[in-house]
Amino acid sequence: MIEIRLHGRGGQGAVTASRLLATAAFLEDKHSQSIPMYGTERRGAPVTAFVRIGEKDKMVRSLIHEPDYVVVLDSLLRKTVNITEGLKDDGMLILNSSVPPEEIELLKPYKVATVDATGIALETLGRPITNTAILGAFVKATGEIGLESVIEAVKQQWKGTLGEINVKAVEAAYEATEVGDPKIVAEVVGEKAPAGSRADWRTFRPVVDLEKCTGCRLCWVYCPEHCIEMVDDKSVIDYAYCKGCGICVEECPVGAIEMKSESERGE
């Protein structure tokens, strides 16, 4: 029996990924369970889901506390959520990250697989929904499930074009996945953020072009997070609280605000 825990953010499809994985295992005549964690599944908030694959008489129906594999759908999540919690010593981490496994800092020598799932999702789907891409990485890194079964499960989930582009995402991630050993460190230093910071909810960050900004304050009025200040009649964004919704970009009448990918900032 293998046990898998998936970490993602609301809207990235962690729960769908767990269902697809369970379906793929089922298609290989295995018994499988997909368990979403009950909690706040808000868009952007951390979400957990579980998959259990094995024989029928060994199945239990609990949450998974000591997984064999941990799959992380979001590139910044590992800075705020303890993703290695309970992971077995010979376990493996499958991370959405644009850096190779050798640059991932961990306390214990787990195996690590990385893939730039956000980049692949943006290329294939046009949206930062990383669930299907990370499944391709899971197949490549672990070999527990065949690529064909995952593709079949994806096709059953979405018909037509949506299915095709998701299959493309699976295949692209399968090709791009790298497996290796992480950098072992004594202590993982997280980013220091103020209380209640929502900085890690973003996939994109709004960047203000101060030359173009006319100081009309429309972004300041409409920002749901109240994280835009007017300094010398120009918009200045407090990135500690910006969730990256993009309302300011949509509402700016002169197009002075632009969305830039978070991963471009370097991890």
Contact residues toward other proteins (CB under 8 A) are: 10-11, 40-45, 194-198, 201, 217, 221-227, 238, 240-241, 243-247, 249-251
Q: Closest separation between CB of residue 191 and other proteins, Å?
A: 15
Alpha carbons 173 and 176: distance in angstroms, whole number:
5
- Measured from the CB atom, the residue of 5 and 243 that comes closer to other proteins is 243
- Measured from the CB atom, the residue of 11 and 54 that comes closer to other proteins is 11
- Measured from the CB atom, the residue of 44 and 91 that comes closer to other proteins is 44
- Measured from the CB atom, the residue of 178 and 251 that comes closer to other proteins is 251
Among 116, 166, 127, CA closest to 43: 127
Q: Please state whether 87 falls in left (phi above 0), alpha (psi between -120 and 50) or beta.
A: beta
Which pair of tokens denotes residue 105? Answer: 């800092």
- DSSP-derived pairing of the beta strands 178-180 and 111-115: antiparallel
Q: Closest separation between CB of residue 250 and other proteins, Å?
A: 4
Alpha carbons 62 and 203: distance in angstroms, whole number:
32
261, burial (CB in 10 Å: exposed 0-12, middle 13-18, buried 19+): middle
Which pair of tokens denotes residue 240? Answer: 């500690």
What number of residues does the chain have? 267
Alpha carbons 234 and 207: distance in angstroms, whole number:
12
Q: Closest separation between CB of residue 229 and other proteins, Å?
A: 10
- Measured from the CB atom, the residue of 2 and 247 that comes closer to other proteins is 247
Q: Closest separation between CB of residue 212 and other proteins, Å?
A: 18
Q: Closest separation between CB of residue 249 and other proteins, Å?
A: 6
Does residue 208 sit in helix, strand or coil? strand
- Measured from the CB atom, the residue of 207 and 247 that comes closer to other proteins is 247
Q: Closest separation between CB of residue 141 and other proteins, Å?
A: 30
